[in-house]
Structure 1
Amino acid sequence: MSTTNPLNRLFFKLLIGFWLCSSLTIALVLILPIIMQNQDRAPLEKHLQQVLQTVAKDIQQSPDILTTNKLYKLHRQHSKQNKPLRIYLVNDDGQVINSRKVPRSLRQFLLMAEDAQQPISHQFRNELIFGPLSFSVNQQAFQVYGRVPANHPRPWFFYFSENKLLTASIAILFSGLLCGLLAWHLGKPLNSLKRSANALAQGDLSHRVDKTTASRSDEMGQLALTFNSMADSIEAMVTNQQRLMGDISHELRTPLTRLQLALALSRKKGQQSEELERIGYEALQLEALISELLTLSRVSLASHENKLMLELAESLSQVLDDAEFEAEQQGKNLHIDIPDALQLPQHPKTLSRAIENILRNAICYASSQITISAIQVGKHILITVEDDGPGLEPKELDAIFKPFYRPDDARDRQSGGWGLGLAITQAAIKLHQGSIVAENLISPAGQRQGLKLRISLPVS
């Protein structure tokens, strides 16, 4: 028994996929501020330290600055070219004593400097703040900080840190992309399995899951292999059943032929009786039934034959002529509307037999009018057969296509048949990858006034 790598299981693929998606998104969001902080924070440069030392020395030499209005103008006393240098003096209680309004950036820098426990400089968006330098005046401890307008090139990804809404949108888009790739990876084989299951349900027993899906090493691949194995078994069983029905029907013809020969000899010798007539009638019925069974078997097994591209009107010409003659003999009118330009790939004999069965039923049950028309809609040709007969009970609209099914009113008729005509028709339509649907025609008063059969056949 072959062993499967546990990491190829869908459980681990889902776990790893969602874990990576969430982990990468969270990591990018959390690491970006740390990178930004390390990028913007740096040790205090020498010339900036000299500026702070100069300020501290001036205050120590003129302590009266601390008690006069000169304290609020302290930052104006130190400038460098066109970039004014602002000085902030902080007392031992952590309060800025030379500014009535403390900028947010300075408050943030005070916390950074406290954590760093050494003089540092930090580049904000449009300014550089540096410090502190500690000194004392009259036994009071002070710290001095500097703030100067400055810009320096920053990495492009810092833009996302300063634009939280954009960063959140990109994170959502990134996680959606990863989840989308995972969903595509899992959804593609499921769609392939769905298509194969639908094809099998519609009668295409040769359809299999594609090799790409079947070669996967996870549960999807195992399911595809199991599905293909199941389809092989179903195709073999159905094919054997159809062949068995055909073989049995064919073998029944031999004793039936002998029976008909014996009846003919008896009649030739003048042996006539009611019993022999009954035997002859039942033999004819049995021969017709066997012929229908053979036709159904041949239609079901004809999928390997190549189709011919023919005009619909041409391939149905003989059937339509016969139906028109039959309708005329019964005093009914058959209206035909099939354009000569309509072409489709077809099995001519099989398709003709399917249409013939439908027309015979329509002529049989119609009151006076039967209509057959065809039109091309997109890549399909729609064939419609309508009659003005009694229609069918709603529950029988699908059942009439089952083998040996006959509506209740047909069982009382001598010409009711064996319920194989529409089964042959449906098998022929499926052979052409088409579909057939029956529906009642309803009058404005809500009464049934006929039956309509719609056939859809692909053009290519």
Structure 2
Amino acid sequence: MRLPHITSLYGRIFAIFWFTMFLVTLAVLALPHFDPRKTRDIEPTHFDRMLEIRDRMQQVFADERDVKAILKSLEERSYRNTDDDKRRVFLTDLDGTIMSADRRNDQSYRSLRNFVSMIDNPQQPQQKLYGKILIAGPLPVTVAGGDYLLYLATRWSAPPNFLLQLFDHPFRLLLVVMLISTPFLLWLAWALSQPARRLEKAAQRVAKGVFEIDPELEKGTSEFRQAGTSFNHMVEAVNTMICRQQRLLSDISHELRSPLTRLRMAQALATRKLGESSDLTRIDTEAQRLELMIGKLLELSRVQVDSHIKREEQPLSSLFDALLADSQFEAEHMGKELQTSAIPNRRISCHPQLLTSAVENMVRNAIHYGERCIKVSLEVQADTLLLRVEDDGDGVPDEELDSIFRPFYRVSTARDRHSGGAGLGLAIAENAIRQHQGTIRAARSGLGGLLVEVSLPLLTKS
């Protein structure tokens, strides 16, 4: 399976993150420059309107020679206009003296005095916001036979007060920008993590034995699309391999059982004709052993696939009550003692037949090799079932403990071919435990023999 190009992916994430941070920083640094209370060039549409007002003024007052009469007429026109967006026209001489009545309490007049003190070059008209009054100018104008400078005061409704407060308090501005950018960054993190989560869930399904192709894995960034495609190809290849293995084992079973059946029939006929003999008995014993081995091989193959299809939620008592009762009877019949603990009141998601078969193999193995005492204990620790099966038999050498779960493996002490097994019981149990996302290990028992310890995940208590 080809893994995602992690370097490229994280490089892209960091690039987007730093680009976003750059935009946030740029916005924080640049927004104050858009503060309308700072002196700036006049907007083209507003400048055109000022030129129109100046030209009309010069046209209307072309024959008027008294500048005071012109100022009075301008004042009357301004106050007759009750619209909130009304404009007021002011004139100053070339030295910047305001040609108007001294209106100390007039906000427009006070704002104009401040503006004129800063801006008096008709070649570079500017504008500046004072509260709700926008002052723009100057423009050269000729009326009453003299040269003057024209300024325009306009009631301005934008920007809102809260925006001006942000301009006055950079930390508030930074906070607002962060509040706006945070949802975007969270969405970005969520969008980038979705393909990874889909890939994680698909891997978990495969770990449970569910070999299904997921088309959703081939969506998202190019790195995850490549990984998803490779993952689906891997799942398809595993499915094909498993199907071929199943077909091969089925064919082998059929081909072996046919001559095996003929061999046992021939042995039975020979016994009928010649009578009982040690040679014929040995042939029959080996044929039975071969038939048992073929059955165990097929069972091992079935354990390795499709256990997820028949998963059920079961209480532990329904799985182990009958099993331990039967094991108790078998141990007593063999003159041995089986000690069991109470079964915890918890539930597990499992393939019932597969799991009970695995535990049964472990318990029967302990009964078979134990001398007098076998102990089975069940304990729950943090939503995990710990199952311990131990006996007081000869045990297994320490260096061979990790090998006893291999198919057909036999140790050099008690577990030899004279014990009658096929060497597949613990291999089947180990496969079944792994199919249930559990672990299994072997160790030396405190009773002197073998200890097999299994841990299985349980359903969380509601």
**TM-score category by the smaller chain?**
0.5 to 0.7
Residue matched to 1:437: 440
Q: Which amino acid aligns with 2:441?
A: A
SS in 2 for 1:324: helix
Residue matched to 2:213: 208
Measured after TM superposition, the shift of residue 237 of structure 1 is 0.8
Q: Which amino acid aligns with 2:242?
A: V
C-alpha distance in 2, partners of 1:459/1:323? 26
Q: Is the 8 A contact 2:303 2:431 kept in 1?
A: yes
Q: Residue by residue, what CA displacement relative to the aligned partner does 1:98-154 show, whole Å, maximum 9, x if unpaired?
A: xxxxxxxx9xx999759997686745789999999xxxxxxxxxxxxxxxxxx9985
1:255 aligns with 2:254: no
Q: Residue by residue, what CA displacement relative to the aligned partner does 1:285-319 show, whole Å, maximum 9, x if unpaired?
A: 21221121122233345547645666544454553
- Change in Cα spacing, 1:307 to 1:174, as seen in structure 2 (3 Å) is closer
- Change in Cα spacing, 1:158 to 1:364, as seen in structure 2 (3 Å) is farther
SS in 2 for 1:25: helix
Residue matched to 2:453: 453
Q: Is the 8 A contact 2:362 2:429 kept in 1?
A: yes
C-alpha distance in 2, partners of 1:22/1:269? 96
C-alpha distance in 1, partners of 2:27/2:210? 51
- For normalisation by structure 1, the TM-score amounts to 0.64
Q: Is the 8 A contact 1:406 1:418 kept in 2?
A: no
Measured after TM superposition, the shift of residue 428 of structure 1 is 3.2
C-alpha distance in 2, partners of 1:406/1:125? 95
C-alpha distance in 1, partners of 2:173/2:433? 58
Q: Which amino acid aligns with 1:353?
A: S
- Change in Cα spacing, 1:216 to 1:81, as seen in structure 2 (3 Å) is closer
Residue matched to 1:80: 104
| Equivalent residues in 2 for 1:59-78, closer than 5 Å | none
1:36 aligns with 2:30: no
- Change in Cα spacing, 1:129 to 1:308, as seen in structure 2 (3 Å) is closer
Residue matched to 1:135: none
Q: Is the 8 A contact 1:382 1:456 kept in 2?
A: yes
Q: Residue by residue, what CA displacement relative to the aligned partner does 1:202-252 show, whole Å, maximum 9, x if unpaired?
A: 25242433x444355844334323321321121121132133223312431
Residue matched to 1:93: none
Q: Is the 8 A contact 1:372 1:384 kept in 2?
A: yes
Residue matched to 1:386: 389
Measured after TM superposition, the shift of residue 406 of structure 1 is 4.2
Q: Which amino acid aligns with 1:291?
A: G
SS in 2 for 1:262: helix
Q: How many residues align?
A: 396
- Change in Cα spacing, 1:395 to 1:34, as seen in structure 2 (3 Å) is farther
Q: Which amino acid aligns with 1:29?
A: V
- For normalisation by structure 2, the TM-score amounts to 0.64
SS in 2 for 1:417: coil
Pick one of 217, 234, 248 that aligns with 1:230: 234
- Change in Cα spacing, 1:307 to 1:131, as seen in structure 2 (3 Å) is closer
C-alpha distance in 1, partners of 2:211/2:363? 31
Residue matched to 1:319: 323
Measured after TM superposition, the shift of residue 355 of structure 1 is 1.5
- Change in Cα spacing, 1:391 to 1:185, as seen in structure 2 (3 Å) is farther
Q: Which amino acid aligns with 1:298?
A: R
SS in 2 for 1:260: helix
- Change in Cα spacing, 1:131 to 1:168, as seen in structure 2 (3 Å) is same
- Change in Cα spacing, 1:33 to 1:115, as seen in structure 2 (3 Å) is farther
Residue matched to 2:172: 166
Q: Which amino acid aligns with 2:32?
A: P
Residue matched to 2:361: 357
1:295 aligns with 2:299: yes
Residue matched to 1:136: none
Q: Which amino acid aligns with 1:192?
A: R
Identify the range of structure 1 (367-376 vs 189-198) with the bigger mean alpha-carbon deviation. Answer: 367-376
Tell me which of the two structures has the higher relative contact order, counting C-alpha pairs closer than 8 angstroms and 6 or more residues apart.
Answer: 2
Q: Is the 8 A contact 1:313 1:338 kept in 2?
A: no
Q: Which amino acid aligns with 2:290?
A: L
SS in 1 for 2:421: coil
- Change in Cα spacing, 1:80 to 1:304, as seen in structure 2 (3 Å) is closer
SS in 2 for 1:157: helix
C-alpha distance in 2, partners of 1:113/1:54? 9
- Change in Cα spacing, 1:110 to 1:363, as seen in structure 2 (3 Å) is farther
Residue matched to 1:423: 427
- Change in Cα spacing, 1:451 to 1:127, as seen in structure 2 (3 Å) is farther
Residue matched to 1:69: none
Residue matched to 2:145: none
Identify the range of structure 1 (329-338 vs 179-188) with the bigger mean alpha-carbon deviation. Answer: 329-338
SS in 1 for 2:35: helix
Measured after TM superposition, the shift of residue 268 of structure 1 is 2.6
C-alpha distance in 2, partners of 1:347/1:46? 88
C-alpha distance in 1, partners of 2:164/2:449? 77
1:372 aligns with 2:396: no
Q: Which amino acid aligns with 2:453?
A: L
1:269 aligns with 2:273: yes
Q: Is the 8 A contact 1:373 1:385 kept in 2?
A: yes
- Change in Cα spacing, 1:116 to 1:413, as seen in structure 2 (3 Å) is farther
Q: Which amino acid aligns with 1:436?
A: T
Q: Residue by residue, what CA displacement relative to the aligned partner does 1:25-45 show, whole Å, maximum 9, x if unpaired?
A: 355334412321466657999
SS in 2 for 1:372: strand
- Change in Cα spacing, 1:388 to 1:320, as seen in structure 2 (3 Å) is closer
Of all paired residues, the percent bearing the same amino acid is 32
Identify the range of structure 1 (256-265 vs 178-187) with the bigger mean alpha-carbon deviation. Answer: 178-187
Residue matched to 1:103: none
C-alpha distance in 1, partners of 2:251/2:121? 94
Q: Is the 8 A contact 2:346 2:458 kept in 1?
A: no
- Change in Cα spacing, 1:160 to 1:186, as seen in structure 2 (3 Å) is same
| Equivalent residues in 2 for 1:110-125, closer than 5 Å | 113=119, 122-123=128-129
Q: Is the 8 A contact 1:333 1:368 kept in 2?
A: yes
1:188 aligns with 2:194: yes
Q: Is the 8 A contact 2:267 2:284 kept in 1?
A: yes
Identify the range of structure 1 (170-179 vs 260-269) with the bigger mean alpha-carbon deviation. Answer: 170-179
- Change in Cα spacing, 1:154 to 1:299, as seen in structure 2 (3 Å) is closer
- Change in Cα spacing, 1:301 to 1:199, as seen in structure 2 (3 Å) is closer
Identify the range of structure 1 (388-397 vs 283-292) with the bigger mean alpha-carbon deviation. Answer: 388-397
Q: Which amino acid aligns with 1:204?
A: G
Measured after TM superposition, the shift of residue 320 of structure 1 is 2.2
CA-based RMSD of the aligned residues comes to 5.2
Measured after TM superposition, the shift of residue 354 of structure 1 is 1.3
Measured after TM superposition, the shift of residue 260 of structure 1 is 1.9
